[in-house]
Amino acid sequence: MLDGDDLRSGLNRDLGFSQTDRSENIRRAAEVAKLLVKRGLIVIVATISPLETDRRLARSILSGWPFLEVFIDTPLDVAERRDPKGLYALVRQGRLQSFTGVDAPYEAPRRPNVRIDTTTVDPHDAVDVLLAHLRSR
């Protein structure tokens, strides 16, 4: 699994949150995933990918390899209530800017391969949904 926070604290620590840097973050994650997939691993990339163009780029980088777009669908108000890092509070206080879905754009996937509505599915069941989808392929 390639976790977005882990990537941002290591490989992508030189990137900020401008749109250009966000796109580069997704590109790098896709390139690392491709290296691992080519070696026979199943790779889950857990990042916030706010723009359709970036998700399309990731898919093109992995062209020729299985690629599933999974939309973990959580409404903004629910994400704010669940916020374990307190980031939404910082945004609302004006201490953090360019935050996805608040003051930076977010384009929900139009046709993801898998959509998990976190308001109706708990995390354990969400994993089961994802695994069932993988097994079916």
Active site residue 49: yes
Q: Which helix (H) or strand (E) holds 72?
A: strand 70-73
Task: Please report how many Cα atoms fall inside a 13 Å half-sphere around the Cα of residue 81, on the Cβ side.
Answer: 7
Sole residue written with tokens 């669908």: 73
DSSP 29: H
Closest alpha carbon to 27 in 5, 1, 6, 47: 47
Cα 40 from chain centroid (whole Å)? 22
Pairing relationship of beta strands 2-3 and 114-117 according to DSSP bridges: unpaired
Alpha-carbon distances, residue 74 vs 65, 93, 116, 130 (angstroms)? 28, 22, 9, 16
Please tell me which residue in 49, 60, 98, 136 is annotated as part of the active site: 49
Q: Indicate which residues carry an active-site annotation.
A: 49
